[in-house]
Structure 1
């Protein structure tokens, strides 16, 4: 398998593993955040983009005894907005009334703003999948050949910003590792009573607070003392049975993705967020002014990378009859939300990735009530943790290693 064809294997990996299994809720629960009144406003999320070729992998953490480790719409105005613009900016971005926003990239169906039905909930598990399969990638190999597998490290950054106070920022970063097997590998496994054991090493683990392997499929040695890497190996009998089950459910699939472990990343408040936010509201009987200041934060990433498909969604009640915004935003009257789209934000962006989004709303039933806004973005090619993966031993080759991070629930209040 060449590198181009192997890239198809990871197009449907999700950005966080399921959270309904017992034993994993300890670090995936957002108790400090969603036990508050915000929980009631977080009733919906982005439309799911899960693949039929990838049923949910059973993930549970239990006590196991592993075998020995194998050998090695209103009219928009561009006029000046007044009022809330005079509030000092925490990130000191210059006024942008005479500048144009970066061109917005077209969004895939699963990423469209119409799929966002709640400004306070952008679910990590439902963050849109990047990439579309371009067709089958069959594998037909003998038992002595090196078998190709692909790996994806995907991380979800969840954050809640309160006003312009950085000390009130709550951050939670989780991740998961997915292994993608080409469909042809199942025949190799089933025809060999003792296939080579697939072993892998997770490197650069110093920022990982917890690593939870899939107890049904993956073994690990809990006595490992190296703080910078951890070794794991797969239960080949269990993985063969599981892949056969997936192929029976989806016999035409060209690859099957399997969740092998989850982890939590240590965070340091607002310094761990790729995009810092601060919001301001000024609510009068007939008008509402909203401003969102943002600042790109390369120090939060292992390798600074571009934030793509940035969307900011702001719900406004009070009977909006007209909206003026800089840069231009769109108003969805049915959902009563304004949204901005920015194609990308990075260090190369204007002002180093800092700026402001401003809007003035005219109301017929004011005043409005300040609401929670939601932000979404994705970044390819890097992780926040710096974690890496390599295969250990013989029998397999890593055809592709894909890294990405994206927003889970990324919200801000005034």
Structure 2
């Protein structure tokens, strides 16, 4: 597949059983393959910002290689870290696990929540490596672990091959040094002043099927007559989520307000251009609260809107994946983890 090709989507949202326990309003379009109404938040997009499992080897989803574009996510970046920077010798390598969480909360019944979490591993090489990456250089080997939290993984088979010395429960990828040299050379020619060049290692679908794993739970209440509508958005930091307790910062709640002549709302909010946006600087562990809005309708009763939520989280991911360098001549200078929302929605 050519360098401009992208991987196929990793499937639709899946229903989430529960064990116990973007600044523009969303609009909805129907996915013809699934029948699910997929909200779109213009201006905010669904992708997070740029540069951030134990089964027998024969059963590991990461062993399923599939060609993907080595340059599909960009060619250069400059990293700033939220993870460890171990000391070492050899060529410096920088790594990012970047995950996107999609969820649709339906009322207060968490067991009906639809969830999809996708991720990607990217490496960045400094531009100074160009003279060191050659077909005769020691091959770079990456060890990915644990693999039990991942399925539907698609490796960049243009640049990588599965290493035959993978320990049971882990997966090792070996770079093909000649194609890697050619790819980095192409990136350098396209952006000669770039400080770093990014390489996609693999993309995957994280095994998150329960709303108990999600960091923020949301539900909405709606009441409307001919002239007035009232919206209540309840949200809570989920103490059972897979992330270690830490504040989630820069959270936004957004809802469309077409057909509304006036809005009165609680909290830090802004109403403009047929949208109502609440901005929460931080949601700390243990926090639960509500957002209220009273809307005067031009003609009613109004239809219950969907509410979009956007946030990002640095330093952790839901899959639990990690990466080590398993070959001499290289060292991991920086490891980053980033989790951000794609379509994270709530409806009445």
TM-score (norm: length of structure 1) = 0.66
Q: CA contact under 8 A between 1:317 and 1:368: conserved in structure 2?
A: no
Q: 1:208 aligns with which of 150, 154, 162?
A: 150
Q: Does 1:345 align with 2:283?
A: yes
Does 1:371 pair with 2:298?
no
Deviation at 1:346, TM superposition (A): 2.1
In structure 1, C-alpha distance between the alignment counterparts of 2:239 and 2:139, rounded to whole Å: 39
CA shift at 1:299, angstroms?
Answer: 2.4
Q: What's the secondary structure of 1:61's corresponding residue?
A: coil
Which piece of structure 1 moves more, 399-408 or 200-209?
A: 200-209
- Counterpart CA distance in 1 for 2:293 and 2:184 is 52
Q: Which has the higher strand share?
A: 2
- 1:201 aligned counterpart, secondary structure: strand
Corresponding residue for residue 56 of structure 2: none
Counterparts of residues 79-158 of structure 1 (less than 5 Å): 146-158=90-102
Q: Quote how far apart the aligned CAs of 1:322 are.
A: 2.1
1:10-33 Cα shifts (integer Å, max 9, x gaps): xxxxxxxx99635x43x2445888
Give the alignment partner of residue 159 of structure 2, picking from 212, 217, 220. Answer: 217
> Which runs of structure 2 are paired with 1:311-322 in the superposition (5 Å)?
311-318=252-259, 320-322=260-262
Find the aligned partners of 1:311 and 1:211 in 2 and give their Cα distance. Answer: 31
Task: Looking at secondary structure, tell me which structure has more helix per residue.
Answer: 1
Q: Distance in 1 between matches of 2:261 and 2:337?
A: 44
Gaps of 5+ in 2: 16-29, 52-64, 81-88
Distance 1:164 1:380 in 2: 28
| 1:162 correspondence with 2:106 | yes
Provide structure 1 residue ranges, at least 5 long, that are not aligned to the other structure.
Answer: 1-17, 54-59, 64-124, 135-144
* Alpha-carbon distance change, 241 to 389 in structure 1, aligned in 2, over 3 angstroms: same
Q: CA RMSD in A?
A: 3.0
Match of residue 266 from structure 2: 326
Shift of 1:193: 4.1
Distance in 2 separating the partners of 1:147 and 1:20 = 29
Using the TM superposition, give the Cα deviation of residue 298 of structure 1 relative to its aligned residue in structure 2, in angstroms: 3.6
**Based on CA coordinates, which of the two structures has the bigger radius of gyration?**
1
Could you report, residue by residue, the CA deviation over 1:46-76 in whole angstroms, capped at 9, with x for unpaired residues? 258888x9xxxxxx8259xxxxxxxxxxxxx
C-alpha distance in 1, partners of 2:79/2:144? Answer: 27
Q: Cα distance, 1:213 vs. partner?
A: 1.2
Distance in structure 1 (CA, Å) of the matches to 2:328 and 2:162: 18
TM-score normalised by structure 2 residue count: 0.78
Residue deviations 1:100-121 (CA, integer Å, cap 9, x gap): xxxxxxxxxxxxxxxxxxxxxx
State the 1:162 CA deviation: 0.7
CA–CA separation in structure 2 for the residues paired with 1:171 and 1:225? 31
Q: How much does 1:302 deviate?
A: 4.1
Partner residue of 1:173? 117
Shift of 1:188: 2.0
Does residue 141 of structure 2 align to residue 199 of structure 1? yes
Offset of residue 275 of structure 1: 0.6
Residue 301 (structure 2) pairs with residue 357 (structure 1): no
1:232 aligns with 2:173: yes
- Pick closer, same or farther for the CA change 1:62–1:252 going to 2, 3 Å: closer
Q: Contact 1:302/1:384 (CA < 8 Å) preserved in 2?
A: yes
- The residue aligned with 2:27 is none
The 1-side partners of 2:36 and 2:206 are apart by 26
The match for 2:198 among 257, 261, 279 is 257
Aligned to 2:208: 267
Q: CA deviation at 1:400?
A: 0.3
**Residue of structure 2 in register with 1:309 after alignment:** 250
Aligned residue pairs, count: 302
